Amino acid sequence: MAECQRCGSCCKVIPLSTAGMPPDYRKYLLQRGLKEDQGFILIPHECENLDEELKYDSAFEGHVKTGRYTCRIHDSPDRSLACRKFTGQKRIGPWRMYVPPNCAYNKKE
């Protein structure tokens, strides 16, 4: 099994399923500038528990962003059930999950 590459992609959007969504509503959301991927409308919303990792770079004489992220509540019981169960599956029980295209967990169904 692949390991999480900690890119933060799954924590930066709220996926809204288009299954059963009226076509006019879907069209309205897309006209408002939202993107669609894998049957989900992607609503930009970075999780409040997501922090970008920093590293010291002597060339800049300071810290620079790494593009990797940490979750402040990753090992906490406060972490949501959806987050705890997510390991790249497109389905978890009755839930259909959004798996970012660049996710290390991305598996073919």
pLDDT, tens only, 54-86: 888 888 788 888 888 889 998 888 888 888 888
Q: Is 107 domain-assigned?
A: no
User: Residue 27 domain-assigned?
Assistant: yes
Q: Looking at the predicted structure, is the pLDDT value of residue 38 above 90?
A: yes
Within a domain: 49: yes
Regarding beta strands 35-37 and 62-71, do their DSSP bridges make them parallel or antiparallel, or are they unpaired? unpaired
The total number of structural domains that make up the chain: 1
**Residue 105, domain member (yes or no):** no
The reply to whether the predicted model has a pTM over 0.75 is yes
Q: Is residue 28 part of a domain?
A: yes
Specify if 109 maps to a domain: no
pLDDT confidence of residue 108: 59
Residue 39, SS3 per DSSP: coil
> Which domain covers residue 80, as residue numbers?
9-96
List strand residue ranges (DSSP E) for the chain, in order: 13-17, 35-37, 40-44, 50-57, 62-71, 91-92, 95-96
Alpha-carbon distance of 78 to 64, in angstroms, equals: 29
Question: Does some domain include residue 101?
Answer: no
Q: Please report whether residue 4 resides in a domain.
A: no
